[in-house]
Each structure stands twice: as C-alpha cells, then as structure tokens.
Amino acid sequence: MTAKKDAQKPGWKDVPEGGLILESGNATEYKTGGWRTHRPELDKDQCINCHRCWVYCPDSAIVSEDEEVTGFDHDYCKGCGICAHECPVDAISMIKEEPSTEE
Amino acid sequence: MSNKVALTGHEILANAMRQINPDVVAAYPITPQTELVQLFSQFVADGKVDTDFVTVESEHSAMSATVGASAGGARAMTATAANGLGLMWEVVYIAASTRLPIVMPVVNRALSGPINIHCDHSDSMGARDSGWIQLYAEDAQEAYDNALQAIRIGEHEDVRLPVMVNMDGFIISHAVENAELLADKDVKEFIGDYNPDHSLLDPENQITVGPVDLQDFYFEHKRQQIDAMENAKDVIADVAQEYKEMTGRGVEYFEEYKLDDAEIGILALGSTAGTAKVAVDQLREQGVKAGLLKLRVFRPFPSEELVEALKHLDVLAVMDRAETFSTTGGPVFADVRSAFYDAKSDVEVVNYVYGLGGRDTRVEDVVSVYEDLQEITASGKVDNRVNYLGVRE
Ligand code: SF4
Ligand code: SF4
C-alpha cells in the first residue's frame, strides 16, 4: 500500500545511487517555514532600522532592502521569536500561525 | 608471466595490494591482520607503490578515511580483523550504502569476548547484513586471486559495492604456502583504471555525499543496494571466467569436490574446505560416496546454484565457524536451509558449528561428520539438527 503522495516521488530506479545529492546549493528548495507555530509581524512605524533582528535571526529570514527591514521570508522563518526578543523598540510581535485545536 | 613463490598468506596478500597499488590505504593494526598492513607499509616506505598511506588511531577512523578517500574518487583499501571490524561497524554500513567499491581483506578471527585472537568467522559473519560482498578463500592463493577479482567486482558500474576478502587468521595468514603471483603488468591490465561516476574532488560537478535520507528515500536506496547485489552475481561469474582464462584458476560461486556422484556431502568455506578434501579422499578410498562443496561467495548468496549442485545428495552437513545464538544453527546453515525450502527438496540438511576461537578441526573431525551423515542415511532420521563439533562435553 503506497500513500498517494509517495506515488508522486521517484522510485528506486530513478533516485541517485548511494544517496548522493548531485547538485550544489539546492537546500533553498527545501522550504523549512512549515515548522513554524508563530510568525513574526513587523510594525514598520515603530522600526528604527537598527538591523538587530537581521543580525540575530538564526536563519536568514529577515528581508532587508535598501537598508530598510521590510519583512520576513516565510519560506524559511522558523518562528523562533529571537528577532522579536532582540528588537530594542518592540517593533516585532509574534502571532499564532493557526488557531490551535484546543480553541 | 607468473611467478612461483613460497610465502605466508600475509606476504602473498600484501603483494596483491602492492600490485593493485591503491591510491589510498588507511589502516590500523589488529591481530592477526597486523602483519599484512605492516608488510604493505614497507612497500609504501620503499617506494614500491605510490599509495597514500594514512596511519589512523582506530579502525573506526581507518574505515572513515577509506570512505572519504573512496568518495573522493580514489581506489581505496583497508584491512581488518575481529574487534577491528566491530569498531568499524557503523562506517562499514556507510561504505556499502554510499556505494563505494572499497576492497578490504578481513583476516578472520573470533570476536571477543572472552578475548581470543584465533580464527573463526564471527567477525565477517557478523557483518553479513552490512551490504558488502563477501568472498572466502581456502588458501593464500585463493585469497590473492579473490583480492584481484574483488577490485573488478566492486568497481563494476552495475555493482559499485565494497568487497570483503576473507582469509582465515593464522591458519592461512601466518602459514607459508606455494602460490603463483601474476606479473605486475598483468595485474595492472586486469584491474584497469578506476573511473568513478562521481567524486567529491570534482569542483565542476559538486555533490553531497552522505546526506540525511529519511523515510522519503532511504527505502529506495536500500532497494538499489539489493539490485546491485543481484547484479554482482553475474559480475562475479564473468570476472571469475576471465580470471580463469588468464590463470587457469578459480571458480564462480563455489567449488564442487567429488560431488557429482556423492550421496553425502559437506558444505564448508575457508581453510576447512582443504581439510574436508583430505577427508573426502580418505572416505572415497573406502568406497564412501562423499563430496564437498566449498563456498567462495557468501554475499550475494548463490541460492539457486547451490541447490542445483547439491540436490542429488541424501544428506548435507553445513559447517559454520560462527554462531548466531538463534539456537537454530549458524549463519550459513540458515541460508542454505532456506534455499532448500524453496526448492522443495528432500535433502536432509544438518548443521555443524565448529572451530570457534581457533579450536583445531582435524581431518578425523571432518570424517566423523561424514560418519554421522552415513548414519542419518541408514536410519533415515536426524537426532540433532544442530551439532557442536569438537566442543568438550
Ligand atoms: S522568528 Fe526566528 S527565524 Fe523567523 S525571522 Fe525571527 S529570528 Fe528569524
Ligand atoms: S530589530 Fe526591531 S527596530 Fe531593529 S530593524 Fe529589526 S524590527 Fe527594526
């Protein structure tokens, strides 16, 4: 019995031998944002663009354009909340990603 | 042009390694393998090979460095025995699953404990499920022949698996024998160059070796390993044929000794096969129709071919120089009996676990097994399916 989603994946004759990964830099294809339970939200009015969040983010999920923090790359943000914790002016708040089942 | 020599098993196998001239050998000494690596390191020191010899601080590191070298595209070898193989354990699996054609002489020795340095097969048999091809030798000549063929088998594009070249510790490794060594250039020609599909050292084609491989893909990679083992069967046969044309020596999966018209037979691997041949000769002189099947290839297991060669027997004894503690017999017995089950054969198959920890197995011990088999034929019943040959009651 094969689950439907498994059927879409390559079979044993098609995957590279020995578990090798044959191209470099493809980790970007592995979107890890799905692990998140809380997402950061930015209040642009409060932000003083000190870039502390950018420095402290353990991924590289803070988006900065033209020296301004503009938001988050939700494909990779794990929702750890470090950015919110480090922000000196409380410009980032963590909000629940989905209503929990208890609610 | 070949060269007749009288040397120890280790000297003969070290010469095979010299002629193979691997790019990298990483090794740690362990009895009884020590001398093999020591002799090879002398070849390195004397400039007889251009191998990078990596001295490491343990067998775990020896196998790790060998895996690293092989993943880098090098022809890489190491050698080990007993607890050394035990310490390599996790990396032994990695070598096979990463599909690295490493060739490793295993100088068979009992695994502790209690501590014992002498021959049995508990080391290699313990690694039977690791995904390595396993070849066994009756004598030093065969260990030499197997080592050269192992390079070709493991590196074959349909296989790409590591190979253990097993040789009984002390019995073969430390005894002097006559053997024929091929000319260096003939070995070079026979093994050819190694052209890996991928190398960690190729900056144009960057790869990742050994990534995490979870429930999504691990099973598919194991299935590929099984496929490679299936392919190895044909490759082993082809390489053996080619080697035989060149040297006049060698068998594919096993040697049949006076088996054609035999009624009772023994299946053995390693040096005991030689002892059993003497027993067969003695019994044949008395008119007993005894035969022997000497198994060369244990992984992949040549199931169908074995049954075909043995199915005319009344009774077969499988000799195991290792225990499984299943309480139902040794590792070779389990596979042989399972093969017979498929064939719906009525050959009685019994097991003899023998020679553990270097316990001597003499011709008269093997003769006593044939006598047991004669009794089973006469009475038509098996009292003990699994027997312990040579243990004190
Ligand atoms: S929540 Fe964590 S991962 Fe996401 S942007 Fe903030 S620091 Fe980075
Ligand atoms: S740490 Fe706070 S204030 Fe500084 S750039 Fe980030 S969000 Fe803006």
Q: Are strands B176-182 and B2-8 parallel, antiparallel or unpaired?
A: antiparallel
Confidence of residue A101 (pLDDT cuts 50, 70, 90): low
Q: And the tokens for B13?
A: 């196998």
Note the pLDDT of residue A103: 43
Short-list B73, B72, B77, B95, CA closest to A19: B95
Question: Please, where are the H alpha helices in chain B?
Answer: 9-20, 34-45, 59-71, 82-97, 122-126, 140-155, 184-191, 218-247, 272-285, 303-310, 331-342, 363-379
What's the pTM? 0.90
Q: Does the beta carbon of A80 lie inside 6 Å of ligand 1?
A: yes
Confidence of residue A28 (pLDDT cuts 50, 70, 90): confident
Complex ipTM value: 0.84
Using N-to-C axis directions, what is the helix angle for B140-155 and B9-20, rounded to 10°? 30
Say how far apart CA B240 and CA B224 lie, in whole Å: 24
Q: Which of residues 105-164 of B touch A (CB under 8 A)?
A: 160
Note the pLDDT of residue A2: 52
CB < 8 Å to B97, chain A: 18-19
Q: Does the beta carbon of A57 lie inside 6 Å of ligand 1?
A: yes
Tens-digit pLDDT profile for residues B17-49: 999 999 999 999 999 999 999 999 999 999 999
Tens-digit pLDDT profile for residues B43-71: 999 999 999 999 999 999 999 999 999 99
Spell B261-272 as b/e; 16+ CB within 10 A means b.
ebebbbbbbbbb
Q: Is A11 on the interface with B (CB under 8 A)?
A: yes
Q: Is the pLDDT of residue B379 over 60?
A: yes
Say how far apart CA B48 and CA B50 lie, in whole Å: 7
Judged on CB neighbours under 10 Å (0-12, 13-18, 19+), B357 is middle
Q: Is the pLDDT of residue A102 over 60?
A: no
CB < 8 Å to B156, chain A: none
Short-list B34, B275, B270, CA closest to B174: B34
Amino acid at B199: S
